[in-house]
Amino acid sequence: MDSRLRQMERKQKLYSLLKVQHEAEIQELMHYMSILTTVENNLVHSYLHTLLSDGLRHIEYISRIMAGIEGATGSASLTKKGISVSINDEKESRDALLRCAEMADDPETAALLKSISVDEEHHIRILEHLSELVGSAK
């Protein structure tokens, strides 16, 4: 019984440390995204994109480990209801971006916002397909 208690304590400590690291990775991503808009040097821009890409991967790995400690499965949160919420969020983002594009005085800003809204539309289609896949997997 004593070894099971020690093992549980180790897992709790590991989980706590991973949670701190997870939050740190998110803070780093937010920082890199905020400075990305002010950088004009292409090399620096490229480095920041690498840091962002790596940070996303790190968050994914850490989240997977944390879910394993919690006893959750990676697909547990991938439900039709959860996907439906994500679809609604994407639709709201798309619509808000289109409203912002209409309000923008600068044609370049309007075009950029419309471009992002097209990405949101693509995300909606991906999530709709994902919803079909999740539905057929059961």
In angstroms, the CA 78 to CA 64 distance is 13
In angstroms, the CA 29 to CA 48 distance is 10
Q: What residue ranges do the domains of the chain occupy?
A: 2-70, 80-137
Collapse the DSSP code of 89 into the 3-class scheme (helix H, G, I; strand E, B; otherwise coil) and give the result.
Answer: helix
Q: What's the pLDDT at 66?
A: 87
In angstroms, the CA 104 to CA 38 distance is 20
Q: What's the pLDDT at 138?
A: 54
Q: What's the pLDDT at 74?
A: 45
**What is the number of alpha carbons within 13 Å of residue 62 lying toward its C-beta?**
19
Given a cut of 50, the residues of the chain with pLDDT beneath it are 73-76
Please state the φ and ψ torsions of residue 30, each to the nearest 5 degrees.
-60, -40
Q: What's the pLDDT at 43?
A: 95
Q: How far is CA 49 from the centre of its chain?
A: 15
Q: What's the pLDDT at 103?
A: 95
Q: What's the pLDDT at 77?
A: 58
Instruction: Please report, to the nearest 10 degrees, the dihedral formed by the alpha carbons of residues 82, 85, 89, 91 taken in order.
Output: 120
Q: What's the pLDDT at 49?
A: 93
